[in-house]
């Protein structure tokens, strides 16, 4: 069988839901270059894609068919017939890192996936560590491999850090050693192998290794194992693979220290290329700045989606606080109750999307008072000045305030400052919604849109449901009923429009200026979400005057 004259002993495991799920097929006596888990010896006879397993096929026929293909692919690779191999196997990398299991719950060490394998055999590294909240593991932590160094402490390669350095972090000086680990599932065994490799290297570099080992003697230490790992399909496409071992030592009793407990810590690639490869358009958003005015049920979701998409700077503008009842249609839950919406969202972005820099403004745009002496000192200032400064630096403004007063004012200043303006809101009772966008050189503006609505020409009116109004207990203002699952229809179109306008042609925003969402039919029955697009020509009573 393709150079394999001896029988191959197979071990087959069936799912409790067989035949609907594929069986597991292992070759415990074999060691294949690819398509085999080096720890469990299970074979990769199918890819992870659904639809490849045929529940009507006999397992014996399935194994015969797929095993022949696997062996043929391995023979082609061995004979350097790369085109033949590519036709026979999935053209995907087969890195070693994902096969290691048994990592400590909820702990992780992040590193830049574009980092090359260090040229030396061992050295030091700086790992930025901070604790994590975990119900399963009180010792859980997140680490960031900031800098790989040689044994003298001189940096090797680029320094890796997120734009937003986490607060309360501690820098741990750790050691690393380069060798390709064999199949081992026990963390203590991996640490022993790392120690043996260091002993071997110490024959020629004794002082260097002894210096490293000093950093493994404390109550908490990290040992990194780095090795060449396949990161792309094909020849010689290797990168740095990392395994991390965290050792925690107990208290000293008498003249002896309790033995160390070592855990495997999962490593994850978290560089820019690693994170944004799934969304190529993000590359064009990393240096962009967006101001989101109105951080409620629509704006809150939209703002977080913009951060998730990779927008480099997001400013949140909202004066309201989070009510417990907001959780039904707001992106954050109990931990944000009672907090200013803008601050809660900014803190969430800071903690979860490290490539986005958030700022929060608790400004009540346009608010007026006849008794300025009654205002707190921090509110007795011109709130417009810092907002205008932010608008001048913005590449786009998102207005989800649902306030005609705010919309008129913001659209005016955006046109004046030559900043693209995107506006979105839901209608009463969540019967529909509106998204409109105007760039600074548009021949029409938001006023034109409202004038066309008065005329009931050119642009349809969105549907309303006047029955969908409620005044929550203890609240002095009515609000509309509805859930985030409907409101997000508007949020997502706001985001798509924003990304299209920001992306410099990498994502098509479409040519329309106004879109109308319909969620209810004329009789109030729910219909599938549908959007209708319109152009907004200059209106004679506004931008079209004199035409």
Asked if 489 contacts 512 with a C-beta cutoff of 8 angstroms, the reply is: no
Closest residue by Cα to residue 175 from 243, 126, 218: 126
Residue 460 and residue 515: Cα distance in Å, rounded?
9
As a whole number of Å, the end-to-end CA separation of the chain is 82
Q: For residue 65, give Cα distances in angstroms to 12, 42, 70, 71.
A: 15, 16, 9, 11
Q: Whole-prediction pTM value? A: 0.86
Beta bridge partners of 292: 316, 398
Token pair for 323:
């009510």
In the chain, what are the domains? 11-88 (no CATH), 97-276 (no CATH), 280-534 (3.40.50.720)
The one-digit pLDDT tens for each residue of the chain (547 residues) are 445 567 899 999 999 999 999 999 999 999 998 899 988 999 999 876 767 899 999 999 999 999 999 999 999 989 989 899 999 988 888 888 888 888 999 999 999 999 999 999 999 999 999 999 999 999 999 999 999 999 999 999 999 998 877 777 899 999 999 999 987 778 999 999 999 999 999 999 999 999 999 999 889 999 999 999 988 887 657 899 999 999 998 754 455 555 679 999 999 999 999 999 889 999 999 999 999 999 999 999 999 999 999 999 999 999 999 999 888 889 999 999 999 999 999 999 999 999 999 999 988 887 776 666 666 665 555 667 788 899 999 999 999 999 999 999 999 999 999 999 999 999 988 899 999 999 988 999 999 999 998 888 889 889 888 776 666 655 656 666 778 899 999 999 999 999 999 999 999 999 999 999 999 988 889 999 999 999 999 999 998 754 4
CB half-sphere exposure, 355, CA atoms < 13 A: 21
DSSP 379: G
Residue 266 and residue 174: Cα distance in Å, rounded?
16
Q: For residue 106, give Cα distances in angstroms to 168, 265, 272.
A: 18, 9, 22
Instruction: Give 526's contacts (C-beta < 8 A, 6+ positions apart).
Output: 519, 520
């Amino acid at each position: 069988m393709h150079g394999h004259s001896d029988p191959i002993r197979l071990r087959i495991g069936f799912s409790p839901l067989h035949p609907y799920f594929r069986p597991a097929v292992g070759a415990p006596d074999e060691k294949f270059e690819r398509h085999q888990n080096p720890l469990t010896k299970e074979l990769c006879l199918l890819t992870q894609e659904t639809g490849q397993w045929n529940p009507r096929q006999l397992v014996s026929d399935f194994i015969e068919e797929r095993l022949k293909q696997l062996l043929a692919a391995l023979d082609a690779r061995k004979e350097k017939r790369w085109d033949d191999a590519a036709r026979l196997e999935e053209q995907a990398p087969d890195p070693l890192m994902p096969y290691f299991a048994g990592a400590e719950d909820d702990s992780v060490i992040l590193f830049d996936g574009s980092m090359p394998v260090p040229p030396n055999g061992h050295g030091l590294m700086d790992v930025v560590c901070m604790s994590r909240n975990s119900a399963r593991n009180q010792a859980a932590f997140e680490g960031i491999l900031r800098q790989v160094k040689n044994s003298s402490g001189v940096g090797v390669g680029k320094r890796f850090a997120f734009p937003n350095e986490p607060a309360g972090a501690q820098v741990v000086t750790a050691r690393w050693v380069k060798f390709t680990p064999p199949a081992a599932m026990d963390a203590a065994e991996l640490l022993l192998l790392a120690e043996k490799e260091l002993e071997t290297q110490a024959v020629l570099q004794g002082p260097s290794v002894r210096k490293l080992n000093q950093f493994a003697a404390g109550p908490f230490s990290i040992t990194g194992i780095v090795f060449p790992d396949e990161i792309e399909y094909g020849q010689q496409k290797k990168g740095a693979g990392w395994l991390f071992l965290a050792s925690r030592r107990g208290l000293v009793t008498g003249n002896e220290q309790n033995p160390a407990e070592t855990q495997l810590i999962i490593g994850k690639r978290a560089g820019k290329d690693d994170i944004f490869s799934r969304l190529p358009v993000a590359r064009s958003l990393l240096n962009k700045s967006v101001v989101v005015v109105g951080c409620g049920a629509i704006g809150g979701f939209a703002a977080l989606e913009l951060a998730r998409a990779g927008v480099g700077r997001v400013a949140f503008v909202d004066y309201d606080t989070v009510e417990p009842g907001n959780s039904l249609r707001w992106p954050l839950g109990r931990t944000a109750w009672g907090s200013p919406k803008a601050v809660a969202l900014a803190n969430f972005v800071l903690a979860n999307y490290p490539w986005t820099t958030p700022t929060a403004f608790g400004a009540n745009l346009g608010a007026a008072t006849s008794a300025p002496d009654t205002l707190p000192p921090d509110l007795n200032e011109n709130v417009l000045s810092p907002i205008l400064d932010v608008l001048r630096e913005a590449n786009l403004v998102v207005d989800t305030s649902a306030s005609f007063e705010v919309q008129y004012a913001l659209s005016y200043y955006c046109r004046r400052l030559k900043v693209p303006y995107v506006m979105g809101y839901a209608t009463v009772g969540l019967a529909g919604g509106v998204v409109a966008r105007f760039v600074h050189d548009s021949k029409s503006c938001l006023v034109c849109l409202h004038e066309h609505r008065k005329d009931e020409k050119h642009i349809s009116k969105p549907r309303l449901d006047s029955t969908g109004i409620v005044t929550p207990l203890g609240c002095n203002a009515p609000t509309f009923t509805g859930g985030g699952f409907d409101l997000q229809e508007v949020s997502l179109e706001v985001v798509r429009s924003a990304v299209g306008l920001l992306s410099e042609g990498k994502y098509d925003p479409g040519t329309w200026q106004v879109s109308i969402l319909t969620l209810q039919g004329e009789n109030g029955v729910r219909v599938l979400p549908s959007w209708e697009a319109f152009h907004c020509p200059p209106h004679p009573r506004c931008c079209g005057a004199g035409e």
